[in-house]
Each structure stands twice: as C-alpha cells, then as structure tokens.
Amino acid sequence: MSLAIFDLDNTLLGDDSDFLWGQFLVQQGLVDEAFYARENQRFYEDYKTGNLDIFEFLAFSLKPLVEHSRLKLNRLHQQFMLESIEPVMLPAAQNLLEKHRAQGDTLLIITATNRFITGPIADALGVENLIATDPEVVDGQYTGRVDGIPCFQEGKVERLKVWLRENQQNLADSWFYSDSHNDLPLLEQVTHPVAVDPDETLADHASAKGWPIISLRSAE
C-alpha cells in the first residue's frame, strides 16, 4: 500500500481553482472588477513563472473571505462548484484516483490554494486527505490572515512532513503527480514523481530526470 499524492490545480483539474474563484467573484460583482481581474491575472502569471510572493497573494486572495458571512460564502461556493469547477473536472483524473484507490493506496491532495476553495473540491473528488493553505478563523469568521505555513513550494514539503508524522505515514513507495515546477521540492522527495501536463520548466526537468510525463486532458 502506497501514498499517492496529487496536486490539484491544472493536475486533477483542467484549470486553476484559485484563479477561477477570482473570476467568479468578479462575475458576481462582489469585488472591484477592473482591479481584481488585473491583480488576479498578475498573481497567476507570477505563479506560472515561479516568482509569486505567496504572502502578498494570500493577503489579496483571502480578503474577500473577511467581507462576507460564512453562510453566504458557503452558498457562493456551491454555485462556484456548479459553474466553475464541475466543467473542469477531468474524467482521466477520476480514473487515476480510482486506480490508486483500487490498489489500496492512501490518497492525498496537496495544494497551495486555500482550504475554503479546495475542501469541497477534494470532497467531490472523493479524497479524504487534504493539505492546503489554511485561512485563519477567529470566532467563526475568517480574518484574512494565514494560519501556519502556506502550502507552497518548500512549504508543501514542510506541511507534508507534519502530516506524515500525525498520520503514521511515510514516503516509502510514494507517488506525487503535479503540473508545476513550483512543486519540484516535493517531486524530488517521493519515490515516483510524475509530471502531469507539465509547464515547460517541469517538462524539461522531468525529461532530464527520466520521470514519466502523462496527460489527464486527452479526452478534452
């Protein structure tokens, strides 16, 4: 029995849920359209080039959570799932998850995107274990701050180490599937790193290392 770890955005999903959430907020008229669309795009480009300031981005992306009640946010997320997430769920990704599930592997999603966005997505994918960036909650309300280490780049490795200790797991015969060169620190830690529809930097690195390169978008 192995540990099968999966990145979420542009790996199990055919798009980036964090970016889509920003677009959804703009479409709902809940944020300033010109400013939010521009900044959302800027941060996404920084992420793709490996230049994202994670704390600056989180200050931006978590702010809307402060401005609405948990009840309203949950209703918005249900709509977001229907309109933005279900259309980018990939049948081949479901098949890959099922393959590992049938083998008795422990499934784990690890993502930089915050838990408010990704918790329901992990549930929809049938994956119980999720490591995500955690928004701080005080007295039942989001504060706009981060609780603990952001789950990004080396932070994914640190957060995974804690999870492994807490769940009596290890990386013996482990798998990690990702699309992004931002995940190279974790890809280097596992037994079976797999590049999934990789960006150019990760594709070059995977080719040089002899790692498998697969696509989960072939049916798109």
- Percent pLDDT > 90 in the chain is 93
Say yes or no to pLDDT of 214 above 80: yes
Greatest CA separation for the chain:
50
Give the pair of three-digit tokens for residue 178. 């990702």
Say yes or no to pLDDT of 220 above 50: no
Alpha helices in 67-107 (DSSP H): 70-80, 91-102
Q: Read off the pLDDT band of 50 (50, 70, 90).
A: confident
Q: Please, what is the average pLDDT of the chain?
A: 95
**pLDDT for the residue 152:** 95
- C-alpha 91/C-alpha 94 separation (Å) is 5
Task: Fold for 3-214, please state it.
Answer: Rossmann fold (3.40.50)
> Residues of 94-125 as b/e, b for ≥16 C-beta within 10 angstroms?
eebbeebeeeebbbbbbbbbbbbbbebbbeeb
Mean pLDDT for 122-144 is: 96
CA separation (Å) from 109 to 16, 105, 139, 215? 14, 13, 27, 18
CA separation (Å) from 25 to 37, 133, 166? 9, 19, 35
**What SS3 class is residue 123?**
helix
Give the pair of three-digit tokens for residue 184. 């190279």
DSSP state of 13: B
Active-site residue numbers? Answer: 7, 9
Mean pLDDT for 172-177 is: 97
What is the model's pTM? Answer: 0.95
Say yes or no to pLDDT of 77 above 90: yes
Q: Read off the pLDDT band of 36 (50, 70, 90).
A: confident
